[in-house]
Structure 1
Amino acid sequence: MLPKHGQVAIDLATTHQPDLILMDIQMPVINGLEAMRQIRRLPGLGEVPMIALTALAMTGDRDRCLDAGANDYLTKPVKLKQLASSIQQLLSKAV
């Protein structure tokens, strides 16, 4: 399921206990940065790997995403091999 805004992402993470989260940064209501911060504070979700995705890559965005709790940062359009590699690396570390 693709959340329409950050609160939906937070709610889904809470109810579904994901193995990995792909977080869009540009979302209404609660943006992806704040959603990642909130998810990191939730019991049982602090260590879930998160990949931040953004189409509006600006100077400093990578650092802001990592500071908010992302384990990796990818810009759109995402290359499938790059995404698959990032997912594989993060999930192998989580085991």
Structure 2
Amino acid sequence: MPLAENPKIAIAPLILLVEDNEANIQTTTSYLTALNYRIIVAKNGEEAVSMAKANSPDIILMDIQMPGIDGLEATRQIRLDPNLINTPIIALTALAMEGDRERCLAAGANDYVSKPIKLRQLNLLIQQTLGSVN
């Protein structure tokens, strides 16, 4: 029973990773899976909204720049669902320009991380965010 080492995590948190870049998906998924998180992946905003509704993840990592429905619009749509209104969303974006953080937070994201993502830093943020929710 590998989870017995940490009784606080009876069921590993479910993370919805919304990312359209295959290399980023592989890297992030490998790292987070190794930390005992459960990962589901959506590759665009529409998938993100439907997967969030279907799976009720513990936290959502939302890429902002995607074709079709971008991460800001997907975040807004997810926030319209009463079951997902309190689900933490961390925006992931290569846009590190003035006002981007504010735009992400205004759309409903709880936090913001600029790319390239430092995986250790992302894990700390996930732990802090989930700790403040539970």
TM-score range, shorter chain: over 0.9
Q: What residue is the counterpart of 1:94 in the other structure?
A: 133
Gaps of 5+ in 2: 1-39
Gaps of 5+ in 1: none
Larger Rg, first or second structure (1 or 2):
2
Q: What residue is the counterpart of 1:8 in the other structure?
A: 47
Query: Could you tell me the TM-score, scaled by structure 1's length?
Result: 0.95
Displacement of 1:83: 0.4
* Root mean square deviation, CA, Å: 0.9
CA distance in structure 2 between the partners assigned to 1:90 and 1:44 by the alignment: 18
More strand by share: 2
Length, aligned pairs only: 95
Matches for 1:1-95 after TM superposition, within 5 Å: 1-95=40-134
Query: Could you tell me the TM-score, scaled by structure 2's length?
Result: 0.68
- Partners of 1:25 and 1:32 within 8 A in 2: yes
Does the residue aligned with 1:10 lie in a helix, a strand or coil? helix
Which whole-Å deviations, capped at 9, do the CAs of 1:27-67 have from their partners, x for residues lacking one?
Answer: 11100001001101102100000100001222100000011
Higher relative contact order (CA 8 A, sep 6+): 1
Runs of at least 4 residues of structure 1 off by over 6 A? none
Q: Alignment identity in percent?
A: 59
Which whole-Å deviations, capped at 9, do the CAs of 1:13-39 have from their partners, x for residues lacking one?
Answer: 000010000000001110000100110
